[in-house]
Structure 1
Amino acid sequence: MKVALAEPVAALPRGAGLAYEPKFDGHRLLVFTLDGTAVLQARSGRIVTAAFPDLADAALALPDGTVLDGEVVVWTGGRIDFAAVQRRAAATVSRAALLARRLPASYAAFDLLAEGGRDLRSAPYERRRGRLVGLVGPLGPPLQPVPMTTDAELAATWYETLTATGVEGLVIKRLGGPYRPGARDWRKLRHTHVRDAAVVGFTGPADRPAALALVLPDDDTPVVSSPLPPALRSHAATTLAGRGTGAADGVAMAIGVGEVPYRGVVPGLVAEVERGTTRHSVVTVLRLRDDLINQV
């Protein structure tokens, strides 16, 4: 199932009929329940149920025929830890249970697409939101509805104060709007275009990587960064040394080129990157976040 998307904006939209939600930078995840089982689907369409056994187990509390849209996050020290989220998403079946205990996931649900097998995507957001809160709210962690307000001033306060927890902005929706898969009907406001991304691999030689393969928050499809500057290539070679053991190689999308093969590295390393306002903008690596290397 394709997911609804958001268009970046430079200022907070205001006006009647708008709803505001904090934007959690994790992995976009659809949750399906059917015949007493739960299936978790990433934004790319990949089934990731085995990587998140804790969320799959929690989802069994939902009635059959439920479909949720939301973000999976991992909290570390009171902040969203994107490196930990990526480590969870990339876990093998044999490691998934261990990581679920050490890095428990939370699911921030922001939409209800089906209830009792009934497709709700054509219903207005306001109605879907009410049903979402009624269904998920009583369950408690790790499944929770995201906060929402129709008060632009409160939304502005969230925008200014929630950055300390790793929430990097807001998503704005029309109360009367349907859920349109693949359409950019929603709006998103970020503090900056600088964000953390998970390093999943590199291109070029190991002793002087040419570019990094990265996974950005809210999208599990790897992308290739712009070429690394000379100093950063040396730093990357040192930091990535030894992190390729047992890691899977893959292909990532390079702007203007298409799919490019990369050599995989063990998840847990984060890069600070800058990206333009469109989905297909080049990603530039600013620095490697050595301070955030996840050792679990």
Structure 2
Amino acid sequence: MAVALAAPVAKLPRGAGWWYEPKFDGDRAVLWRRDTVRIQTRAGRNATAQWLDIATAAMNLPPDTVLDGEAVIWRDGRIDFGAVRSRASARGRRLTDLLHRYPASYAAFDCLMLAGQDLRPRPYAERRAALLDVLADARPPIQAVPATDDPEVALDWYEHLPAQGIEGIVAKQASSPYRAARIWKKIRHSETTDAVVVGYIGPAGRPRRAAVRLPDGRRVLSQALTPLVAAEVARLAEESGPGQRARTDDGEEYTATGDGMLVEVEAGTTRHATVAVLRVR
């Protein structure tokens, strides 16, 4: 099932009919409770094995229920997205170990089916009521995300919850149905962090993108490099000499270089596949 998404905006939308939810920093997960439980990723992949603790708890939900939400992992009082990605990519013994060491939770924000009835054409306000109803007796690890129609409360969440791993606010119109498009709005915190350049894409003399290693160990590709940063990466490529081919955590191929170049990246873009390199340190 294709999922609804949120378009980034600079300011929190205000006015009649807007509702707001904290944006949890996890992996998108559609939870299907039919005869058994299946957990689907944003891309449509079956990830039930990676989130087996959530799937087991979901067997207590009414049959023929489908929820939309985020799979998250809490560590030391905050959401740890690095632990989420480790769990999502793990297999075999490592996955079994992570299931025990870092139990997951499910932050549900929408109810798409209830008692076999498709609720997607219904307004958000009705789907929200259905979500609260179906989760009325639920206990962790499955819970509904908070929601408010007060923009001041939403801004208070935005300002004070980042330390807990809340990466922003999602705004939704009370009258809007659920569609596979960017029907919601989101504001996110944009912070910077350091990363290490480990490779590049394109000619050695004119690299187009950099491969970087983030603080949590993930290797990802950057967005298009600015001319100044590209020149520095080209210098690194020259010093490293002919590089071997390597792959990012998402399987994208790049030419490897030696470590040593530190760059500042926009942390608000590191959650998914690419980062924005701002400058060389």
Asked if the contact 1:74/1:82 (under 8 Å) is kept, the reply is yes
Relative to structure 1, is the Cα distance of residues 87 and 77 closer, same or farther in structure 2, using a 3 angstrom cutoff? Answer: same
What's the CA shift for 1:98? 1.8
Structure with higher Rg: it is 2
- Where does residue 188 of structure 1 map in the other structure? 186
Aligned twin of 1:77? 76
Query: Helix, strand or coil: the match of 1:122?
Result: coil
Q: TM-score, normalised by structure 2?
A: 0.75
CA distance in 2: counterparts of 1:97 and 1:133, whole angstroms = 32
- The percent identity for this pair of structures is 49
- Structure 2 CA distance for aligned equivalents of residues 196 and 30 of structure 1: 30
Counterpart in the other structure of 1:7: 7
On the 8 A contact 2:65/2:114 being kept in 1, the answer is yes
Work out whether residues 226 and 282 of structure 1, in 8 Å CA contact, stay in contact via their aligned partners in 2.
no
Look up the SS of the partner of 1:251 in the other structure: coil
Provide the aligned C-alpha RMSD in A. Answer: 3.6
What displacement does 1:248 show? 9.0
Greater shift after overlay, 88-97 or 17-26?
88-97
Q: What whole-Å deviation, never above 9, does each CA across 1:24-82 have from its counterpart, x for those lacking one?
A: 111111010111x1111110111111111111111111122111110111111111111
Secondary structure class of the residue paired with 1:128: helix
Tell me the TM-score normalized by structure 1.
0.72
Distance in 1, Cα, partners of 2:39 & 2:194: 22
> 1:211 aligns to what SS in structure 2?
strand
Alignment of 1:140-159 (within 5 A): 140-159=139-158
Look up the match of 1:283: 275
Change (3 A) 1:101 1:150: same
Q: Does 1:55 align with 2:54?
A: yes
Q: Write the letter of the residue equivalent to 1:283.
A: V
Secondary structure at the counterpart of residue 46 of structure 1 = coil
Question: How many Å separate the matches in 2 of 1:61 and 1:196?
Answer: 41
Match in the other structure for 2:100: 101
Q: How many residues align?
A: 247
SS in 2 for 1:28: strand
CA separation of 1:174/1:211 partners in 2, compared to 1, >3 Å: closer, same or farther?
same
> In 2, Cα distance between the equivalents of 1:60 and 1:177?
29
Deviation at 1:17, TM superposition (A): 0.8
SS at match of 1:51: coil
Separation in 1, partners of 2:21, 2:194: 22
The residue number in structure 1 matching 2:30 is 30
Unaligned runs of 5+ in 2: 202-206, 215-219, 237-245, 257-262
Task: Give the structure 2 partner of residue 241 of structure 1.
Answer: none
